[in-house]
Structure 1
Amino acid sequence: MQTTVSPRDADQVLHRELWLFSLYRVLEAALLVLVVFGPAADVADPVRHELLARSVTLAYLFFSLVMLALVRRVELRTLAAIGVAGDLFFGILAMHAAPLAAVGIALMLMFNVGAASLLLPTRLAALVGVAAVGGLLGEYAWSRVDMDMARSFAEVLMFAIGYAALGTLMNVLGRQMRESYELAASHASENEHLAQVNELIIRRLRTGVLLVDGQGRLRLANEAAVALVGDVGDEESGYRELAVAVPELGRRLAEWRATGRSDDSPLRIAPDQPDVIPRFARLQAQSDQVLVFLDDTSLVSQRAESITLATLGRFSASLAHEIRNPLAAINYAVQLLQESDDIRAADRRLLEIVHQHAQRMNGIVDNVLGLARREPAKPEVIDAVDFARHFVDEYLVSHPIEGDTITASSTLQELPALFDPRQLHQVLTVLVHNALTYGRMPGQPARVTLRVASDNGRPVLDVLDRGPGIPEGVRGRLFKPFFTTSHHGTGLGLYIARELCRANQAGLDYLPTAGGGGCFRIRMSALGHRLTDERSMDLAAG
């Protein structure tokens, strides 16, 4: 973010120079008063027009005091322009009234012209130079007419050239000063903005960050670190010591300072906080201040798990491709053998076992490939009630369930929802298959119900069973990939089902039922919720 600095902002830093310039003007006026009214007037008699000299010097002294008083009340450029105009006016009159002091007055005016050119923009500085040269030439012509002897024209010409050259040089220097200030101010604003962004990022980091000085005192901490160790203190009340706030962390820091080796074992700072892994780094190469990073072990585990799952997914997909071809050959060979009339009954039973397990292996391969190359969701507006009924009808046709039952129920005639129909079918297939397999009491048929209802305006689709339920210790790992309690499962079905729900901005959770059994609930997006989510994403992107 770049901030533009106006020339007027740059002028603000020159107010101190303007005050010194105004103070110098008062000194000039006081010297002129001393020349006209002091002892030197009786000895050297520098004054030719006494009344004009006294009037000009007193008026100039009053003018200089007024300009000094207005330094902080009037804009810099305006005050500088008025001031140098008054300097030239009163100075030229004083030179004419006191010709013997004219050289000294001209020299003093040279500083006024240079200072004004430094403070004013180029056009006004050029106008000041022209006015100074014109004033000198005009006073020279006036002296030729008014006096028997005027000053040398060469002297006047040298002063005029000096005014023009000094004014040009000082104006160039002033312009460079303003440009340098504008550049510095712009960089300072950018640095301040970047510092604020960095501070915000560090403050919002989930990793705790502590700054410890050479005496082991806590100087700074971000929000995550404050939640672990508490407030660090301040200059008035004193900074807390790390060895007092967290003794074990203080011991590890002292060991790291002494040996350069750190203990990377997890550390529990507070009873209600997760374990952290401390890391140490010097703020600068030769600094005694140390940054302490407190990494949440749960975040480290999640990152490691994500990397592992990504690697395992790629490996599983490659392996699944290699397995599918020989598996297809096995299935085809079994089908050919089953069609043969020379197979005995006992061997035919073995073929059925081979075919059954080959089909199971093919299902595992399909699950792994589906996990590796999951296609993006294409949500559509569907009627959840009608979809559940059609799903039950299709499942009963394609999956013989013998004595088990599957029903769809709802108190609503229709319930619009947003979901990819193909992916919702895949999710329900996984949930119903699990309910038929595990959601039954020993020796009893499975009874599975697909119940559609509205929960605070959001469509929900429950897959209910009458089985023994899922133990509480297992529920937290239900949707973990490759977690299963069965010797015949892959642990991917529920994981893929939840990922498909998330892709459709829906949720999948397990809810225990009071009367026994279990319930897998799909919370789908209603049309209104979807539009709200899209507006939120648009606003965030904008």
Structure 2
Amino acid sequence: MLQAPRMSDLSTDVEQTTNRLFRVYNHYRVTVGIILVSALYLQNPSSVSQYLSPFYFEVAVICYLAIHVFTGFLLLAGFRPELRHAMVSVVLELLLISAMLLCGTGVSSGLGNMVVISVAAGNIILRGQLGTLLAAIASLGVVSQEIYRMVAQYSDVDDVFRAGILGVVYFATALLVKNLSIRIATSENLARKRAQNILELERLNHQIIQRMLTGIIVADEKGGVRMANQAAQSLLSVDDSHELTTLPEDLLHRLQEWQNDPSKKTTPFRGSANRAPLQANFAILQKEEGQDILIFLEDTGKIAQQAQQLKLASLGRLTAGIAHEIRNPLGAASHAAQLLLESPELTPPDKQMAEIILRHATRMNGIIENVLSLSRRKVSSPQMLSLIAWLTDFVCDYTAAGTRDAEIEILPLKKDIQGRFDPNHLNQILNNLVGNGLRYSKQESARSWVKLVVGEIEETGQAFIDVIDIGPGINEDQLNHLFEPFFTTDPKGTGLGLYLSKELCEANQAQLDYLTRQEGGGCFRITFPHPKRAI
């Protein structure tokens, strides 16, 4: 939430400004005091005879320097004067100057001009009515001492008149400086408030950028990273303890492609082998000098999920009509083939043909069932699952359903592994993957064996399940078409099992990949979404 500037912050800034001005002014007074003391001991003895009281004049000059030197040491020691301290200090200075005028040669000495600077400085430091009070004290001090000197026959009426003129100058200086200081203070407060608002807006923008799910990177033209939000670091699998300083090679390559042809849309790339592909979009960020590149990274997993929902909705409407038109005649053909097989008069060649008809009718019915189950499935309802316990229950249910000869091993690589997934979808995926693994293992080695390895990727903290078999594996030609619909290496298969499993994984923002094993066999990996990612 954006907060307005606090008055305590503004008052603190005012105090800091006052302390800084007072410190500078005290340096001036120390310098003047040194000059006065030096002049006191270097002046002609004949001029001292014109003083009203040379001794007290000397005392006033030395006190002037000593007090301000002592004030300087207090400031160096960390003393922070308040307004009342500054007021007392300036009033004491005015009294000491008045004492110098009284004990010296009066306004004719020119020391009265120092009061103008003191009044001006006092109005800048104190501001308000206190500045006018200083002008009044200074005027009374100069005029009263000159009247006393005239009574003591050390000055004349002209000197009193000059003292009155100086009093008017003091008031004029106070009024002028006060108005200027008020304007300056108003400008300072306005600038301070604007700076505070800009700072708060900058903090707000920083929080918004850091909380965005879209990765945002600000980079220079050569690929050096100036800023990257948390989503970008997560999508690129950069550890939070490390700072992203340069663009990854794949992203840098796409930046160079975009720089060569800004109208061309770059192809997606993988931030890591265990994450969905990323789509990078680029924009120029103009600056006063040069330009930076603004990079937006979007996780194609969510985009694919939305596209999948639209695709399934269209597929559902299409398959509903096709199923209605095909299943009835297909069921009739299948039933007729079954009746034909029961006929005792059927010759062996005709019986073989009837079995082919029944087998292909059954296969076509399986294809329709798979397509309907894909198009009619509900939106995923992911839950946080304890994968080891869930797999244990799955294996018990699977073997109890008629596959008691199956050997299914569970190998946990870590305790208490959590994964977010729809349990119904995960059950359907593993039924297909484990069934395929058992079937191909038995074909290759006459042993129905599958191992389920449960682990966690160290770089990203994502859970995974590997379904490993001892079958013939998948060659490179088959791998390119493995997850395409209706592609199968089993003559009796429909070619929709892996496609359906892939779609269910994407609906849960998970990944299904095939991993090549050097020791032979096949391995399908389900990579779960990060447990902190909202689906």
**TM value normalised by structure 2:** 0.60
d(CA) in 1 for partners of 2:266, 2:410: 54
Look up the match of 1:423.
Answer: 425
d(CA) in 1 for partners of 2:164, 2:416: 101
d(CA) in 1 for partners of 2:506, 2:488: 20
1:407·1:448 contact (CA, 8 Å) conserved in 2? yes
1:115-514 matched pairs, under 5 angstroms: 115-120=121-126, 122=127, 126-127=129-130, 129-130=132-133, 132-134=135-137, 136-137=139-140, 148=151, 151=160, 158=168, 161-162=171-172, 165-166=175-176, 168-169=178-179, 171-173=181-183, 175-176=185-186, 178-179=188-189, 182-183=192-193, 186=196, 209-211=219-221, 225=246, 289=290, 310-311=306-307, 314-335=310-331, 350=357, 353-354=360-361, 356-370=363-377, 373-377=379-383, 379=385, 382=389, 384-394=391-401, 406-408=406-408, 421-435=423-437, 438-441=440-443, 447-449=447-449, 465-471=469-475, 484-486=487-489, 488-490=494-496, 491-496=498-503, 498-499=505-506, 510=515, 512=517, 514=519
Secondary structure of 2:406's partner?
A: strand
Question: Offset at 1:318?
Answer: 0.9
Look up the match of 1:55.
Answer: 59
Question: Offset at 1:391?
Answer: 1.9
Distance 1:333 1:427, change over 3 A: same
Look up the match of 2:240.
Answer: none
Look up the match of 1:18.
Answer: 25
Distance 1:92 1:484, change over 3 A: farther
Question: Offset at 1:37?
Answer: 5.6
Question: Offset at 1:131?
Answer: 5.1
Task: List runs of 5+ in structure 2 lacking aligned partners.
Answer: 228-243, 268-279, 342-349, 457-461
Identity fraction in percent: 15
Distance 1:330 1:482, change over 3 A: closer
1:509·1:522 contact (CA, 8 Å) conserved in 2? no
Per-residue CA deviation, residues 104-158 of structure 1 (Å, 9 max, x unaligned), is 54443122122123124x5xx6446435524643675676677537846965874
Q: Does 1:112 align with 2:115?
A: no
Distance 1:225 1:208, change over 3 A: farther
Distance 1:196 1:422, change over 3 A: closer
Number of residues of Structure 1 aligned to a counterpart in Structure 2 = 459
d(CA) in 2 for partners of 1:17, 1:460: 68
d(CA) in 2 for partners of 1:24, 1:352: 111
1:510·1:519 contact (CA, 8 Å) conserved in 2? yes
1:460·1:522 contact (CA, 8 Å) conserved in 2? yes
d(CA) in 2 for partners of 1:191, 1:38: 68
1:136·1:156 contact (CA, 8 Å) conserved in 2? yes
d(CA) in 2 for partners of 1:67, 1:89: 17
Distance 1:74 1:119, change over 3 A: farther
d(CA) in 2 for partners of 1:261, 1:451: 49
Letter of the 2:318 partner, please give it.
Answer: E
Per-residue CA deviation, residues 219-242 of structure 1 (Å, 9 max, x unaligned), is 99896648769xxxxxxxxxxxxx
Look up the match of 2:344.
Answer: none
d(CA) in 1 for partners of 2:335, 2:193: 89
Question: Offset at 1:324?
Answer: 1.6
1:208·1:225 contact (CA, 8 Å) conserved in 2? no
Letter of the 1:441 partner, please give it.
Answer: Q
Question: Offset at 1:375?
Answer: 3.0
Task: List runs of 5+ in structure 1 lacking aligned partners.
Answer: 213-217, 230-245, 267-276, 397-403, 526-532
Higher relative contact order (CA 8 A, sep 6+): 2
d(CA) in 2 for partners of 1:497, 1:282: 39
Q: CA RMSD in A?
A: 6.2
1:118·1:174 contact (CA, 8 Å) conserved in 2? no
Distance 1:64 1:408, change over 3 A: closer
Pairing partner for 1:101 from 97, 101, 107: 107
d(CA) in 2 for partners of 1:282, 1:416: 46
Letter of the 2:370 partner, please give it.
Answer: G
Distance 1:185 1:146, change over 3 A: same
Secondary structure of 1:467's partner?
A: coil
d(CA) in 2 for partners of 1:16, 1:61: 15
d(CA) in 2 for partners of 1:208, 1:353: 58
Secondary structure of 1:379's partner?
A: strand
Letter of the 2:400 partner, please give it.
Answer: D
Per-residue CA deviation, residues 141-182 of structure 1 (Å, 9 max, x unaligned), is 676677537846965874674465356436525634653674
Look up the match of 1:237.
Answer: none
Distance 1:25 1:369, change over 3 A: farther
Question: Offset at 1:475?
Answer: 5.8
1:19·1:71 contact (CA, 8 Å) conserved in 2? no
**TM value normalised by structure 1:** 0.59
1:389·1:408 contact (CA, 8 Å) conserved in 2? no
Question: Offset at 1:357?
Answer: 0.9
